[in-house]
């Protein structure tokens, strides 16, 4: 098992990336709103004082989305990366996002236990 994680730079592209991951067979995708340190510091800069006025009305959101899923095989990660890059372009380009994969030594929870028993994860 592996934990596939992506920090998506442009939250407006979330639906497209989720569709790409789904088409790649990624199960049980979870989304968390997140913000990086550079965006927090930029919001505190004096020149963005007037930009905050737009945020009051919902127009100035400046965050990321962190997307993750426990996947069964490395091949699924490769498919997810390819599908993501088909939507966003190469992840090595600026303002796309980052993806990484971590080994999952053990997992708890009914859906993961059932998937493990069935050989899915």
Domains defined along the chain, listed by start = 2-35+63-117 (3.30.70.120)
**CA proximity to 69, closest of 23, 116, 22:** 22
Q: Which residue has the higher pLDDT, 108 or 16?
A: 16
Confidence class of residue 34 from pLDDT cuts 50, 70 and 90?
A: confident
CB of 69 closer than 8 Å to CB of 79: no
The answer to whether 35 touches 89, Cβ cutoff 8 Å, is no
Q: Are 13 and 80 in contact (CB under 8 A)?
A: no
Percent of the chain at pLDDT exceeding 90: 61
pLDDT interval class at 107 (50, 70, 90) = confident
Alpha-carbon span 3 to 5, nearest angstrom: 6
Q: What is the pLDDT of residue 109?
A: 84
Which whole number is the average pLDDT over 14-30? 97
Return phi, psi of residue 8, to 5°.
-90, 120
Q: How much is the pLDDT for 115? A: 58
pLDDT value at position 67? Answer: 97
């Amino acid at each position: 098992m592996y934990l596939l994680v992506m920090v998506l730079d442009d939250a407006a592209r979330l639906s497209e990336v989720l569709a790409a991951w789904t088409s790649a067979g990624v199960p049980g995708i979870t989304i968390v709103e997140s913000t990086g340190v550079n965006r927090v510091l930029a919001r505190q800069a004096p020149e963005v004082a007037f930009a905050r006025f737009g945020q009051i009305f919902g127009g100035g959101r400046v965050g990321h989305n962190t997307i993750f899923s426990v996947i069964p095989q490395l091949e699924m990660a490769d498919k997810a990366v390819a599908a993501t890059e088909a939507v966003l372009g190469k992840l090595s380009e600026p303002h796309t996002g980052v993806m990484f994969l971590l080994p999952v030594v053990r997992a708890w929870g009914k859906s993961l236990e059932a998937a493990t028993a069935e050989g899915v994860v």
